[in-house]
């Protein structure tokens, strides 16, 4: 597995999360002068988006994220997004958070599958960051945070070989391989089957730098072409006009990773048969695994940079429903397999030693990390970050 995959996974999933939240907040917003105290306004939407993006691109958080490291479990990463989604006045209940995460993961999985070249995963990431910058165009401070991450991406990934990008793509596909959630947008566009598996096209532009299939060249031992044979292909292939820009600005050409919710339409998720079978996979960690303590350290290190903004006074924040009605949300919560549900975990990274013990509640099957010597590497980084915050 590639040790450079985590930043791309986090940023792309985070971009999809922001697309979904923006679409739902816009759908539920009403004019400010007509809004009651418990109703969303466009001002609230902007506040939520700014708070989440500020937290997502926190400098210390990004520094930890970009350190070479292997991917951790789906549950560990899911906990990070629970924390991130609640970094503002917005509150999601269990069913809506489940649905949000399902939409995020399936959208990015489809984008990874469709990438013409493994290197184009970087263009998908740039498309997400370009769209995120549009959300905060009137907030220069937050824009600088995103641009700093942009430059870090360019510095980290522009020098990688095609083979290293292929390893990154394989690592992502391994992460997504057991996830087959049906999404209404994909079902309606006929790019997803009823079992939750995607339908990959056999036509369209070929990867940049390659030729349209249909010709076989035969060379002799001197490297001279001696024969050509043409063959027909079932697809209708075309050569791309230009390569997408891998710079801070420019035309990415590739449309994967752009906001598919910009055209308003309902989005539903459904558990497919194969996804229901994930119940058995979800129990894989009943016996504590050797990486459990390292996983907790990873979570604490990441979550230490995420600060939840608690609403002032008695206000508990605005609730966002990702379903059409409250009844649908309640039904989804009741029918969700217990093994596939996750709790929202609030971890406070403070200088109080007792706070560190709260990590024991992150995942039921993970043992709490014992205090480690100062020379223990990850543990040292964890404690240093906690003390710095």
d(CA 3, CA 68): 5
Specify the pLDDT at position 1: 79
Per-residue CA distances from 361 to 244, 345, 367 (Å): 44, 8, 9
pLDDT in the model for residue 330: 61
Q: How many CB atoms lie within 10 A of CB 28?
A: 17
CA distance 183 to 236: 27
Q: What local confidence, expressed as pLDDT, does residue 298 receive?
A: 59
Q: What phi and psi, each to the nearest 5 degrees, are found at residue 196?
A: 90, 0
The Cα–Cα gap between 263 and 125 comes to 21
Q: What is the pLDDT of residue 297?
A: 57
Q: Residue 253 class from Cβ within 10 Å (0-12 exposed, 13-18 middle, 19+ buried)?
A: middle
Give CA–CA dist 324/379, Å, rounded. 44
pLDDT tens across the length of the chain (389 residues):
789 999 999 999 999 999 999 988 888 776 655 555 656 688 888 999 999 999 999 999 999 999 999 887 888 888 888 888 888 888 888 888 888 999 999 999 999 999 999 999 999 999 999 999 999 999 999 999 999 999 999 999 999 999 999 999 999 999 999 899 998 889 998 999 999 999 998 888 889 888 899 999 999 999 999 999 999 888 888 888 889 999 988 999 999 999 988 765 555 666 554 444 444 444 344 344 445 555 555 555 555 555 545 544 444 555 665 656 556 656 665 666 554 444 443 434 334 343 333 333 333 333 333 333 333 343 334 333 334 43
pTM: 0.73
Rounded CA gap, 264 and 228, in Å?
50
């Amino acid at each position: 597995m590639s040790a450079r995959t985590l930043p791309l996974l986090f940023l792309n999933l985070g971009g999809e999360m922001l697309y979904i939240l923006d679409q739902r907040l816009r759908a539920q917003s009403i004019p400010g002068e007509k809004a009651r105290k418990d109703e969303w306004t466009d001002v609230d939407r902007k506040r939520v988006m700014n708070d989440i993006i500020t937290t997502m691109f926190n400098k210390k958080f990004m520094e930890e994220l970009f350190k070479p490291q292997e991917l951790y479990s789906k549950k560990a990463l899911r906990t990070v997004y629970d924390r991130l989604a609640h970094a503002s006045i917005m509150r999601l209940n269990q069913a809506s958070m489940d649905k949000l995460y399902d939409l995020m993961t399936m959208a990015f999985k489809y984008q990874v599958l469709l990438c013409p070249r493994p290197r184009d995963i970087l263009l998908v990431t740039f498309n997400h960051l370009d769209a995120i910058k549009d959300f905060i165009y009137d907030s220069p401070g937050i824009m600088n945070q995103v641009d700093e991450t942009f430059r870090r991406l360019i510095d980290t990934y522009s020098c990688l070989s095609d083979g290293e990008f292929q390893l990154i793509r394989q690592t992502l596909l391994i992460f997504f391989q057991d996830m087959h959630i049906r999404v209404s947008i994909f079902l309606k566009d006929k790019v997803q089957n009823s079992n939750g598996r995607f339908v990959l096209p056999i036509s369209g532009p070929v990867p940049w730098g390659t030729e349209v299939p249909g010709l076989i060249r035969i060379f002799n031992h001197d490297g001279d072409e001696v024969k050509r044979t043409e063959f027909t292909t079932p697809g209708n292939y075309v050569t791309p006009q230009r390569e997408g820009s891998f710079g801070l600005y420019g035309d990415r050409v590739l449309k994967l990773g752009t906001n598919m919710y910009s055209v308003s339409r309902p989005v539903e998720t459904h558990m497919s048969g194969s996804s229901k079978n994930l119940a058995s996979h979800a129990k894989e960690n009943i016996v504590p695994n050797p990486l459990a303590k390292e996983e907790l350290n990873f979570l604490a290190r990441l979550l230490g940079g995420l600060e939840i903004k608690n609403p002032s006074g008695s206000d508990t924040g605005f609730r966002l429903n990702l379903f059409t009605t409250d009844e649908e949300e309640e039904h989804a919560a009741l029918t969700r397999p217990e093994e596939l549900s996750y709790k929202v975990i609030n971890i406070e990274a403070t200088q109080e030693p007792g706070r560190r013990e709260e990590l024991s509640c992150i995942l039921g099957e993970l043992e709490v990390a014992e205090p480690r010597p100062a020379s223990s590497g990850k543990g040292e980084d964890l404690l240093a970050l906690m003390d710095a915050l």
